[in-house]
Amino acid sequence: MRQWAIDLLRRWPVKHRLLLAITAILLPAVVVSLVLQLALHASNRRFQATIDTTIKDLLPVARLEFHIEQVRYDLERTKASPSQAAQTSLVDRINEDFRQLKNQGRHSQDLGIQISHAFQNWQQVEPFVEKELAATKLLPSSSELSRDDQNLEQVIDQLQKVHAQLLSAVYSRYKFARGSENDFEKALILTWLVGFSVAGGMVYLLSLSIIAPLRDLKNATAAVKLGHYDARVPQSGHDELSELGEAFNGMAATIAQSHEQLYDGAMRDPLTGLLNRRGLDLALRQGSATWKPLSLVILDLDHFKSINDRFGHEAGDTALIELGQHMVKVMRPGDSLGRYGGDEFLMVFPGLDGRIAVAVAQRLIDHLKQSNEERLFPIEISVGVADKGFEPVSATSILQAADKALYQAKAAGRGTVRAINVAS
């Protein structure tokens, strides 16, 4: 999944990905800031609404309580001094307060019942209050005064209950507002965490889409520096880094081709395409120093000078090329074959016993004799074989032994094979 996302992002240019990364970092911060501003504004509005509601609910009750207390005070003053005038407008104010309180229409059922009881008690005491506030000369009986005072006390008691219930309702609204605000804060924090987690994931993938190809390029460069010219940068995108990787791969391929050409020039014979003396010496040194068997076959063309003198040097070159082609047919994977110089060829057989090497050389001689019927001039060879056995030896000693065996083959009449065991 991650690699798929990286490959998808690498379809975009690097500059677009950088802009996307910046946007992924800044956008959550901007969104959270805006949401926070809106949340603070909404919280302030809810708080202001709570205050306004509290004032609208409590003010009429407080005013009504004040007016009732003032009525009771005026009644006491009237009884103490009937000649003093009272404020009859208080009755109208109390009635107006009750109307406002009942018309608000936002009370609970219990609160509405308390207000209704208070209003009923007030209606019972209202006639007496109006008479007393009118400063009549005839005072009611003491039983009437007692009953009216009791009604006033009930009105005040009912209003105090209304006041207490309103305070409880206000506190409940406050708790609800605080709870809503806390829930909103939790949702805001969760949104912030989710937003920045997504942004962090986006930034991580965007950084990987840039860092990963650079790391691949670095590793491939280090590999080429160490001589691994087949190292390549994986290609999976269409951005600038992909173009850079393609350019590097092309450069690495050119270096590999140049290195191969240089290697061929240094290790291969330009005429036959086989190993040259340097390449053969390297293969011989590596094989002779091991604890494994190794056979060295050295051969040269019989009467090579006569071919050059009679048919020309081009014919001599053709003879060398054809001999090399026939020798390739008897080689195994891992064997080394090359032109050692002039008309001399070497075959290095790691892990091969000397007797088998002699059989291979004899088969090559016989095959050349059979194919001579199709040529303008015959190709004949003399072969010397050296077998080192299991003991490590120097490359010089096994080469000298094979060369000695070659001279023995030539002395025996050419077109023959002679072998020498180096260990013996």
pLDDT tens column, 311-360: 899 999 999 999 999 999 999 999 999 999 899 999 999 999 999 999 99
Quickly state the pLDDT bin for 149 (edges 50, 70, 90): low
Sequence-distant contacts of 343-346: CB under 8 A, at least 24 apart? 343/300, 343/301, 343/304, 343/316, 344/298, 344/299, 344/300, 345/274, 345/298, 345/299, 345/300, 346/280, 346/284, 346/296, 346/297, 346/298, 346/402
Residues 6+ apart with CB under 8 A from 121: 151, 154, 155, 158
User: Has this prediction a pTM greater than 0.85?
Assistant: no
pLDDT tens column, 51-86: 676 666 666 666 666 666 666 666 566 555 544 444
- The terminus-to-terminus CA distance of the chain in angstroms comes to 68
The reported pLDDT for the residue numbered 325 is 92
What residue type is assigned to position 3 of the chain? Q
Domains, the chain = 2-201 (no CATH), 277-421 (3.30.70.270)
**What's the mean pLDDT in 289-300?**
92
Tokens of 258: 């140049």
Whether 375 shows a pLDDT value over 60: the answer reads yes
The reported pLDDT for the residue numbered 201 is 73
DSSP 284-341: HHHHHTSSS-EEEEEEEETTHHHHHHHH-HHHHHHHHHHHHHHHHTT--TT-EEEEEE
> Cβ distance 387 to 295 under 8 Å?
yes
Residue scoring higher pLDDT (235 or 287)? 287
Whether 142 shows a pLDDT value over 60: the answer reads no
Whether 113 shows a pLDDT value over 60: the answer reads yes
Residues 97, 103, 108, CA angle at the centre, nearest 5°?
105
The reported pLDDT for the residue numbered 86 is 45
Mean pLDDT over the full length of the chain: 77
pLDDT tens column, 259-280: 777 777 778 898 999 999 999 9
Stretch (H or E) spanning 213: helix 142-225
> Cβ distance 8 to 235 under 8 Å?
no
Residues 6+ apart with CB under 8 A from 321: 271, 272
User: Mean pLDDT lowest for which of 175-184, 241-250, 305-314?
Assistant: 175-184
Whether 116 shows a pLDDT value over 60: the answer reads yes
> Cβ distance 128 to 94 under 8 Å?
no
Q: Which of 103, 106, 117, 116 is nearest to 166 (CA)?
A: 106
Tokens of 262: 């240089």
> Cβ distance 88 to 134 under 8 Å?
yes
Sign of the Cα torsion 38, 43, 46, 47 reads: negative
